Amino acid sequence: MRIDIWSDLVCPWCYLGKRRFERALSGFSAATSVEVVHRSFQLDPSLPKGQSLRARDMLMRKYRMTEAEVIASQDRLEGLAAAEGLEYHLSESRTGNTMDAHRLVHFGLEHGIQDRVIERLFRAHFTENASLFDEESLAVLGAEAGLPDVREFLRSGRCESEVIDDHRQAHELGARGVPFFVIDGRYAVSGAQSVEVFSAALARAH
């Protein structure tokens, strides 16, 4: 059984959804037969590469929220993440164009360490407030995850078409946000659902 997971690396619900899904998968009777493939989705591909802005400012503008409302929302998210064993520090979190970070995830697939790469990038962004938006930082993070020749890869432009194709396919499947899970090509689960919802979807597909 193959499970495709569309995420953006700056989406806090995506990291949370990944953990909840993994908990469900750990209790799934046929877990050893499951192949998980991480797919790319850019929440805002129009952002200029190499730049970043404070996530709190972006949320205020995009959703017309007050700063107090954003702070309350981020505090709630940090609590939900902690319940899944994740450590979020959202007050100074920044966002930007994630094309190159997504390219690294595809590079990880080529080398059989895709989950290790995406996990390192998620932790860098949400726990360490490390940048996912500049070559130097991504080169360090990619190397830490076990990827070879990361700077050369980033400068090559490789895997950009794969990121674009992933985004297009997600829209064709009806995804308008992430995380978005497709189980065995037949069942879709949208959002960072509960462990119970993921468990039921796995059982149904099986």
- Averaged over successive runs of 10 residues, the pLDDT of the chain (206 residues) comes to 98 98 97 97 94 95 96 98 98 96 98 98 98 97 98 98 98 95 96 98 96
Single pTM value for the model: 0.97
- Domain at 2-47+97-205, CATH class: alpha beta
Q: Which helix (H) or strand (E) holds 107?
A: helix 99-110
Could you state, in order of their start, the residue ranges of all structural domains in the chain? 2-47+97-205
CB 5 within 8 A of CB 181: yes
Q: From the CB of residue 193, how many other CB atoms can be counted at a distance below 10 Å?
A: 18
Please report the DSSP string for 16-64 in residue order: HHHHHHHHHHHT-TTGGG-EEEEEE--S-TTSPTT-EEEHHHHHHHHHT
Question: Quick one: pLDDT at residue 176?
Answer: 87
Q: What is the pLDDT of residues 87-130, one digit of tens each?
A: 999 999 999 999 999 999 999 999 999 999 999 999 999 999 99
